Amino acid sequence: MSDTSWIAVDAMGGDKGLAVMLAGVAAARRRHDGMRFLLVGDEAKVAEELKGHPNLSQHSEIVHAPETVGSSDKPSQAIRRAKTTSMGITIDLVKQGRAGAAVSSGNTGALMAMAKLALRTLPGIDRPALAAPLPTLGDNDVVMLDLGANTEVDARNLVQFAVMGAAYARTIMDLESPRVALLNIGSEDQKGTDEIRDAAAVLKGQSHLPLTFTGFVEGDQLARGNHDVIVCDGFAGNIALKTAEGTARFVADLLKRAFSSSARSKLGFLISRPATELLRDHLDPNNHNGAVFLGLNGIVVKSHGGANERGVATAIGNAAKMVRADLTRRIADDLGNFEKKAA
């Protein structure tokens, strides 16, 4: 049983370095009183940086790690150094039961490989999936999975992803019966691959599960807010995610160019600034940060490598919420109920 009051943080991961990681941890501590942290990394460097966060120091312990996983390291290389790197030790703290969750901003492939090897998958789960919340026009974000962990899947995998994604949405968005859809090239029943159509046929008959299957959804509807969970293979999911992020940057850059094109445009910017600030805040990935590897015997959260202090704090806050809600048990229970009905 994991100590759910502790979150293990890979302090050395991330593009912006140790200072931003610890600032994010400190911000998370201010937002969520009662959280405690195991900060994994070079002990001397972490201790020195921690001097600037006295409140965090009182609620943290440093776990020394002599090495780090580089952004270009292959998963096979990272696995061989799991016992000495900050990422590997962070995951192992969850395995040991010393922490309720692990958070890292490091190499995604290495994190996935080490987490799967150390924690293993839950009974009945064939493959873990990477899930994350994305912004929408609705009242809630939409949970999307898989975002890159599995490029090829079958119908059984997609159904498992749907069950796991619904449990995740219930946890982070407090939804009783999340609306679940399969990403497809059309909304008609005959559209898509055999795997997608077969998965839809199974999900249509699962009224006993705490989810509402809404059918197929096309890519242009991802952000409309009409669904709570969108399920797909990791190949399509990663492309959809990167396209959405690129579109958000495109819109922001286009607005910036338009508002700086003339004196009249600059005046228009001043008048519309509250609206543009709201748009920027809504699209800021730091406000939706924290992807989780669902289906493992433990919670491992991937923070975006380029996340700022606010983004790191968001990822840690989501991890803490998953721990408090016992997300791993929820997934196991939901999957167990599904398997019983299917038998």
Stretch 211-229: mean pLDDT: 92
pLDDT in tens, 229-274: 999 999 999 898 888 878 777 777 777 777 676 766 666 656 655 5
pLDDT value of position 269: 56
Percent of the chain with pLDDT over 70: 89
Instruction: Give counts: helices (H), strands (E), the chain.
Output: 12, 11
Whose tokens are 């080490």? That residue is 114
Q: What confidence score (pLDDT) does residue 277 get? A: 54
- The pLDDT, as a whole number, for residue 304 is 83
* Whole-number CA gyration radius for the chain: 21
Quote the pLDDT of residue 334. 83
pLDDT at 97 over 60: yes
What is residue 1's predicted lDDT score, i.e. its pLDDT? 46
Average pLDDT, the chain: 86
Q: Is the pLDDT of residue 119 over 70?
A: yes
What single string gives the DSSP state of each residue in 296-327? Answer: BSSEEEE--TT--HHHHHHHHHHHHHHHHTTH
**Residues 196, 187: contact at Cβ < 8 Å?**
no
3 state DSSP class of 60: strand
- The pTM for the full model equals 0.86
Query: How much is the pLDDT for 289?
Result: 81
- Predicted local confidence at residue 325, as pLDDT: 87
